[in-house]
Amino acid sequence: MMKNEIIVNDRMQQNYRYVLLAAPGEAFAVDFCPELTPQEMLSLGVFGGKYMTDCQAEFPAEWFASAKLSLQRPDPALNYFTVLASQPLSIWQQKGWIYEEDPRGWFQWYCRYYMGRRCPDDQRQIRRWKAMKRHLAQLQKACAPGDLDCRRKQRQALLQWAYDTRNV
């Protein structure tokens, strides 16, 4: 694949540059197998719709064709499970979970990784993604198969980490 440089100018980053080293959706680490693409996540409804509202130019337009977005503030009605399951960015910053090149957090990292960027933070983010799997086990233990009303907040949190619990 030919290397493409991406230049980001949005509310949180100015003149940030990165290079795509893989084709979109390809060459993932062997231990990173998300069940949903960023486009699927956006169309299902994540983060109350208040996540990617000012940085759409960085990603393919088709990601946003059916995305559920809120320009003002997070709206739980836009989430697939109609509940908010996120902590404020300030908490993520306070806990040191934010990599400086991805000031919006894990989902921004995942979108860029999906597009083909590789960076020094990849293994840490993949470990964080894998750690969410414990919530999937809790869900399977507590909920009857197909009961989407069971543990909706936990289901929404898993969705926001690219786990698809609609068939669990």
Percentage with pLDDT > 70 across the chain: 98
Q: How many residues are recorded in the chain?
A: 168
User: Can you give the pTM of this predicted structure?
Assistant: 0.95
Task: Return all residues near 72 (Cβ < 8 A) that are at least 6 apart.
Answer: 50
**pLDDT (tens digit, 9 = 90+) per residue, 127-136?**
999 999 999 9
Q: Among residues 162, 165, 120, which one has the least CA distance to residue 32?
A: 162
Tell me how far apart the alpha carbons of residues 138 and 103 are, in angstroms, rounded to a whole number: 30
Mean pLDDT of the chain: 94
Q: Average the pLDDT over each of 58-62, 87-91, 120-124, 160-164 and give the range with the smallest value.
A: 87-91
- Read out DSSP for 62-103? GGGSS----SSS--GGGSTTSS-----HHHHHHTT---TT-T
